[in-house]
Structure 1
Amino acid sequence: MPAEVDAGLALLSDQLILATVLLYVFAMIGYALDLGFGRSKVKARAVAEPALVTVGGGTAAAPPVSEESPAPAVKAPPAWATWAGPVAVGLSWLGWAANLGSILTRGLAVGRWPWGNMYEFVVAMCFAAVSAFLFMNLRYRIRFLGAFVTVAATLGLGFSVRYLQVQAGPVVPALNSYWVAIHVSAAIIASGLFIMAGVSGILYLVRKDTAVRLPSLADLDRVAHRAIVIAFPIWTFAVIAGALWADKAWGRYWGWDPKEIWAFITWIAYAAYLHARATAGFKGRAAMIVQLIAFACLLFNLVGVNIFLGGLHSYAEVPG
C-alpha cells in the first residue's frame, strides 16, 4: 500500500462497507416482512347488490342488508409485523450512516475525493440510491419500495466488494482535479435517483393485479416520474461539466470517447421518456418501457463501458 495512504482509515472504510451490507440485508428482511405480513393498504370496499329487474322493465330496490350481517372481516396483522416497517427504516438509516462513513474514511485515507475508480464510484452510487429513497420517503411515504431499493444497494455493494475492490491509493493525474467534485458528484446524485426510478419501473412491469400488498401502478408511476424529473437536470449538468473538464484536460469538449457517447445516449433516452410521459396517450406501460431502456443505457454507461470498452475513461482500475 502506498506510503501516503492512511492504512488505518482505509481498513476502517472496508469494515464499514461490510457493516453497510449487513445492515441493508437486515433492513431488506424487515421491509419484506412489512410487505408480507403488515397491514394491507387495500381497503375493504362495499359490494353493491345488483338491482332487481321487474317484469315491466323497471328496477326494484335490492333487499336491504340486515344490520346483523357482519361486514367482511379484515385480518389484523401480527403484533410484531407492525414494527417491521419502522425497524427496517431505522436499519436503513444506520446502513446509510455506515455507507457515508465508508466513503468519508476512504477519502480521508487517500487525501482526495473518494470516487476515483469503479469500486469507489459504485459504493457512492449505492449510497446515492439509498439516500434518494430515504429522503423521498420522508416526503412521499414510499416505504413500500424499501425492500427493492435495499436489494439493489446490497447487490451493488456486494458486486463492488467481490469484483471491483482495489486498495486505497492515489489516482492518475487526470483525476486530481476539482472537476471530480463537480462532474462525478453530479453523475452520482443523478444515478441514485435514476436507480430509484428503475426499481419502480421494473416493479411496474412485473406487478400483477392480484398483488394487493405491492404498491399500485399509479404510485410506482408517480415515484419514477418524480425521481427522473429531479435527476434529469442534474444529469444534464453532469454531461456539460464533463465536456468542460474534457476541454481543460484534453483540449476539446467532445471526442467521441465511448463514455461520452453513452452518457449522451443516456441523456437522449431519459429525454425521450420525459417527452413520452408528457405526450397525451403515451403513458403507463409504454412510457415505463422507455424509462427502463434509458435505465439500461445508464447501467451500461456506468459499468459496462468501463469493463468492456476502452477509451480515455479506461482508468477506472477494474481488477482483472
Structure 2
Amino acid sequence: MTDPRPRQVLAAIPAYRPGRPALDESHKLSSNENPFPPLPGVVERAAAGLARMNRYPDPGVTALGEALAERHGLSTDHFAFGTGSVSVLFGLLDAWCGPGDEVVYPWRSFEAYPIAVDLPGATSVRVPLTADHRHDLPAMADAITERTKVVLVCTPNNPTGPVVTEAEFEEFMARVPTTVLVVVDEAYVEFVRDPDALAGAAALARHANVVVLRTFSKAYGLAGLRIGYSMAHPAITEAIRKALPPFGVTDIAQAAALASLEAQAELEERVEAVVAERTRVFDALREQGWDVPSSHANFVWLPLGERSAEFAEHAHPISVRPFPGGVRVTIGTPEINDAFLARAAAFRR
C-alpha cells in the first residue's frame, strides 16, 4: 500500500520560506509594503465588519464593484475580485490553461507567475528582460505560438521597476492574435510617473482580449486584508469568476477597500511622499555608483548578480529581498531609507 501522493507538478514548486526577520516592521524593506498606516476611516469601517463575522461576506462584492465601475466608467460585470490580484491571476490561469497550453511572460518578473502557470499544468515560456531590465516585447511576440493561451505583462515590472510604454504595447498587440489573452499586471500603477507609460484601463478599451489586474495591497496599504481585482470584458470576467472560490473576499476587506477609495486625497498625498522618497533613494544610489534601473514602483532594484545574497546579509538588520541576479529594496520611511543608503555605500566600498 502506498502513501497518498500529490500531483507531480508540486515537486517542482518551491515552498515559501521567509527571509531573515527584520529588526522591526520599519526595517522590513523586503515585501513592498506601504510604510503608512491605513488611510483615514479605514480601521473604523473594517472594525464595524467584525460584529457580523458569523455571516458570510457579500459574494458579489457589490458596493465595491459599483464604486470601481463608476470610477472607471465600466459596468460591474467587468470586475472580478479575489484575495489579492495574485488570487485573481491564479483563477484566470485555471480558467484558461491546461496541459499542453503555454503562457508567455517576461523573466525575471513577479515570482508567483511560474507557480500560477505550473499548477494547472501549463508550460511557462520565459522571455529574458533586456539589458536595461525592461520587457522585451518584440521577443515576447516572437515567443507566441499556436499553443499560447495567455501572455503576462507586468508594468511596472516587479522586481526591476521599469514600465512598458503605451507605444511599445500597441506595437506588441498588433502582433498578438485576438485569441490570446493579454494580462496587464498593474499592482504598482499608482506610483507611475512616466507620461508615456501604458495605462491598462485605456488598453482594455481598445482591445477585447486584455485583462487588467489591480490590488489594494500596495498604494492603499491593505496588504494584510488581501483584496484585489481584475477588469476585463464581461465574458472574460464571467469565466474568471467561475474559477475563483466563493466568499473569498471578507466583508472586512470589502469595507476597508471601499473606505480607502473614498480617501482619495489622502491616498494621493501618501503616494507622492513615497514617489519623492523613491526619487531621493534612486538619485543617492546613482551618486554612489550603482547602476540602478529607473523604477516607477515603490521599490528599487540593485543588479548585484551573484552577490545578491551577500548584500542581503550585509544590509541586516534591514530586511531586503534577494533574487538570483539582484536585490529588491522597498521604499520605507526616510530614516530607514537613510540607514539602507549607508549600508549600500559601505557595500560599494
TM over 0.5: no
Please state which structure has a larger fraction of its residues in strand.
Answer: 2
Larger radius of gyration between Structure 1 and Structure 2: 1
Please state which structure has a larger fraction of its residues in helix.
Answer: 1
Q: Which has the higher contact order (CA 8 A, sep 6+)?
A: 2
